[in-house]
Amino acid sequence: MGHLDHAAFGWLTPVLSYVMACIGAALGLRCTVRALGTTGRSRRNWLLTAASAIGTGIWTMHFVAMLGFSVTGTEMRYNVPLTILSLLVAMVVVGAGVFAVGYGRDRGRALVLGGLTTGLGVASMHYLGMAALRLHGQVRYDPVLVGLSVVIAVVAATAALWAALNIKSPVAVAVASLVMGGAVSSMHYTGMMAVSVRVSPSAQALPGATAMQFIFPLAVGLGSYLFLTSAFVALSPTSDEREASASAQRPVESVAR
């Protein structure tokens, strides 16, 4: 059996990946809350931003964590199309969950459906990302731990969405995003504990790209996207603020007349 190291760079990758998951969750939940305060095209755009933020956050979390994953006795490569597919799946499935919440008539049902879908999005992204892994040997999964990781993902997504919908204060959204970030991370590491690798040493070249060639630049790019979008969302006024500034201008106009 190959010895698996989940933190080849020490605490750097677990901590950084957790931070990425939290930022993605915070941005996604904030956008979902903003979406519910609007209608029409504006609501749709906020929900699309939420889905892309959560999807990107999950993906970046997974692959930043994977930068610290190594197996003794074999190199590792990543299948590029599958890796990109895992990002798209994360965004589409999380999008379906977020839209269920955004357009659901019945709050409770929308929440269950949204949480289930979003959680399955997290899990499917993780296992697709793992399927993109190429190494000399066989990867096996412990089905109990795989099941547990999916349950963690669904419960956490539901809890985070519930918090975002029911508690509006910035502190609550921050706490919900820390919870969701923690859940995504614990889902990831539970999923990784399910992995065992039987290494069959070989001198053959592995297909695919190394983490540094492909995963690292993509993670940096997506991380930058998250930071920039966060800044934009933080600085754009809410509907309440817009109304407040509009009403503040009205008296000035009447005095000017």
pLDDT tens for each residue of 171-217: 777 888 888 888 888 888 888 888 888 888 877 877 777 777 777 78
pLDDT at 254: 53
In the three-class reduction of DSSP (H, G, I as helix; E, B as strand; rest coil), residue 85 is classed as helix
Of residues 101, 95, 125, 124, the one with CA closest to residue 113: 101
DSSP letters along 201-228, please? ---SPPSSB-IIIIIHHHHHHHHHHHHH
Q: Which two tokens stand for residue 73?
A: 């006795």
Contact (Cβ atoms closer than 8 angstroms) between residue 195 and residue 140: yes
Q: How far apart, in whole angstroms, are the C-alpha atoms of residue 221 and residue 229?
A: 12
Distances (CA, A) of 33 to 50, 71, 96, 249: 9, 42, 16, 27
Contact (Cβ atoms closer than 8 angstroms) between residue 111 and residue 83: no
pLDDT at 235: 76
Query: Which residues does the chain have with pLDDT short of 50?
Result: none
pLDDT at 45: 92
